[in-house]
Amino acid sequence: MSYANDFRVKAGSKVNLAKIDADYHGGFDNEDSTLAELNNYCQRLTELQALMYAENKNSLLVVLQAMDGGGKDGTIRHVMGALNPQGCTVAGFKVPTAEELAHDYLWRIHKLTPGKGHITVFNRSHYEDVLVVRVHNLVPKEVWSKRYNEINGFERELTNSGTTVVKFFLHIDKEEQLRRFRDRLDEPGKQWKISDSDYTEREYWDDYHQAYMEAISKCSFNYAPWYIIPANHKWFRNLAVSQILVETLEGLKMKYPDPSVDLAVIKQKYHAEVAEESGLAAVELMAEEEPKKKKGKKKGKKKKKKK
Ligand code: AMP
Ligand code: MG
């Protein structure tokens, strides 16, 4: 089962969110039945991140978008929790500051994209500039309507420079959103999240969906795909996102760099006991070095003769 195949939005296709079941949970009945698999993916993520960091060639940008209460924070906690903080950054984008508004909308975004070997997770992103901005007419249509192409160009440039871009829309339905808001009322640890605007924004649900559908349809490509994740069930969401991230990173065919030193020499110089354990006395090692070099030279000569 590849959730990457199931949930990837094919380039050029037209998304209809009304037809995508937010309640879908694969072959799983409950959270417990997903835990072993989730744990495997998270362990694999840990390994792949270490590899990416060591190789220092690729980087990964994960974009998380959702309606309010859609589970961006929870996904970061559960899935990205598997990552070593040393190589991972989470960047959240709120209402732009005066300084940010004085620049082009990609200015604050580009600064926070990951460098080589690093993973960055965007909690909201440049897509807000064709979502909330469009829904609330924060700039005229002639401005936001040009942004799809601009975003595609920006993401193309990132991928050309070695950054893999994956984008997740965590898809919950309107009833689930209200359930989640209601749950917050009874949980002291979540009450701080409650805002009036979460409720008033519900009036714009259809407008947001319209804006999401257009953004996702226009900006999903093989090089920077959108995935629509059924997210009413938090445990299924975590499973799907983690599997897709593993598949994405495995697709990079990363390799640990070769050691920059001669390990045999290091063992002999600083770890005499290891050299002895492997049955090689220091003197033997040095004696072995010479014939190897000569053999190498001979091979090279032979090849030239063949030509
Ligand atoms: P939260 O993620 O709940 O902390 O809320 C952040 C708020 O910032 C949301 O209401 C977003 O819609 C808003 N926001 C993020 N980016 C932009 C933007 N470019 N323009 C206007 N509002 C934004
Ligand atoms: Mg909020």
- Torsions phi, psi of 163, nearest 5? -100, 120
Task: For residue 289, name the pLDDT band (cuts at 50, 70, 90).
Answer: low
Helix (H, G, I), strand (E, B) or coil at 162: coil
Closest Cα to atom 2 of ligand 1: 94
- For 15-52, the pLDDT digits (tens) are 999 999 999 999 899 999 999 999 999 999 999 999 99
Any bridge partners for residue 62, and if so which?
Answer: 121, 166
In the reported structure, the alpha carbon of residue 160 is separated from the centroid of ligand 1 by a whole-number distance in angstroms of 28
Mean pLDDT (the chain) is: 92
User: Residue 274's pLDDT is what?
Assistant: 77
Spacing, Cα 72 to ligand 2 middle (Å): 10
Take residue 145 and report the two structure tokens written for it.
């309507």
CA distance 254 to 134: 39
Residue 198 C-alpha to ligand 2 middle, in angstroms?
6
Q: What is the mean pLDDT of residues 257-261?
A: 96
For the cut 70, the answer to whether the pLDDT of residue 284 exceeds it is: no
| Per-residue confidence band for 283, with pLDDT thresholds at 50, 70 and 90 | low
174 pLDDT higher than 60: yes
Q: How would residue 279 be classed by pLDDT, with cut points 50, 70 and 90?
A: low
CA nearest to 43, candidates 232, 249, 229: 249
Average pLDDT over residues 125-144: 98
- Ligand 1 pocket by Cβ (under 6 Å): 93-96, 124, 128-129, 132-133, 138
Predicted confidence at residue 120, as pLDDT, reads 98
Ligand 1 atom with least separation from CA of 195? 3
Calpha distance 263→289 (Å, rounded) = 13
